[in-house]
Amino acid sequence: MARVHIKGRDGIELDIDALPGTALMDALRDANTGVEGTCGGMMSCGTCHVYVQADWLVRLPAKSQDEADMLEAIGEIVPVKPTSRLSCQIAMTEELSGLHLEIGPPT
């Protein structure tokens, strides 16, 4: 398991476990963090938006153009930052244990 440290929309911080080989979005959704993942990881809903702690960004796989386009689209309704990622596009690995992030606002 990979441990992920989360700051929720209510400001409360908690740790959850994510199964390596699955999408980060799945663990966030299953832990009732407010992440919905309504499109199932197809990059068409933006409900899995998170802000990754800056020092973890370089350890994540690079954003695809489709992910960047979806983030740009949700930027019309919520703040999108350089640290924004779609959690459905982050495949968990043991190496990502310790990842820190904040759940994005509802889209």
* Distance separating alpha carbons of residues 27 and 5, to the nearest angstrom: 12
Min dist. Cβ of residue 29 to ligand FES (A)? 8
Q: How far is the CB of 72 from ligand FES (least distance, A)?
A: 13
Among 71, 98, 105, 96, which Cα is nearest to 20's? 96
Q: How far is CA 39 from CA 45, 48, 60, 79, 107, in A?
A: 6, 9, 22, 20, 13
Kindly state the smallest distance separating residue 33's Cβ from ligand FES, in Å.
Answer: 13
Under the binding rule (CB under 6 A), the answer on residue 47 touching ligand FES is yes
One residue of 7, 16, 22, 39 binding ligand FES per CB under 6 A:
39
For ligand FES, the binding residues in 4-23 under the rule CB under 6 A are none
